[in-house]
């Protein structure tokens, strides 16, 4: 969203009294500090400001991204941590280890998925899995 907003700001377009990147910075601050209600208000305000502006493909795309992000935040508000508080208390705030693990797993299975060999590979790893040639047993 920041990249889309920078493009609009470079064209001199603003939303309301603040430019779009400033509004997104305020949204980021609210989320970083666990102020979900404030973040949702910021999203709503930004959405309304974008709707009030003259229509263009860039604004339409940004408005859609803002709306979808607002839906994501609303659906996950109980799980959004206060990273500012965690940082001040010396707690972990990075998901880098989890992201690294996910990237490793994805890199391991990418080629077998693309080649259609993933099931055969799992059958080699887990001998209890049925191979494609074995008929599926129906439960009695």
> C-alpha 97: how far from its chain's center?
17
Average pLDDT over residues 75-87: 90
Question: How many residues belong to the chain?
Answer: 140
Domain residue ranges in the chain: 2-87, 95-125
Q: Could you give the CA distance from residue 118 to residue 96 in angstroms, rounded to a whole number?
A: 27
Structure tokens at 92: 């972990």
Q: Could you give the CA distance from residue 77 to residue 31 in angstroms, rounded to a whole number?
A: 10
Residue 38 confidence class, pLDDT cut points 50, 70, 90: very high
Q: Nearest-CA neighbor of 27 among 9, 46, 10?
A: 46
Which of the two residues, 33 and 98, has the higher pLDDT score? 33
Q: Which residues pair with 18 in a beta bridge?
A: 15
C-beta separation of 16 from 45 below 8 A: yes
pLDDT, one tens digit per residue, over 14-29 is 555 457 888 899 999 9
Residue 123 has pLDDT above 90, yes or no: no
Q: Could you give the CA distance from residue 5 to residue 7 in angstroms, rounded to a whole number?
A: 5
């Amino acid at each position: 969203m920041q990249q889309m907003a920078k493009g609009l700001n470079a064209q001199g377009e603003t939303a309301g009294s603040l430019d779009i990147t400033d509004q997104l910075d305020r949204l980021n601050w609210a989320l970083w500090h666990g102020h979900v209600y404030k973040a949702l208000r910021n999203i709503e305000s930004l959405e309304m400001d974008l709707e009030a502006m003259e229509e263009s493909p860039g604004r339409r795309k940004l408005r859609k991204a803002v709306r979808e992000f607002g839906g994501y935040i609303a659906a996950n508000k109980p799980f959004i941590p206060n990273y500012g508080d965690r940082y001040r208390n010396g707690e972990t705030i990075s998901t880098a280890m989890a992201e690294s693990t996910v990237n490793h797993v994805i890199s391991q299975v990418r080629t077998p998925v693309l080649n259609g060999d993933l099931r055969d590979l799992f059958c080699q790893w887990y001998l209890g899995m049925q191979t494609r040639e074995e008929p599926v047993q129906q439960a009695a």
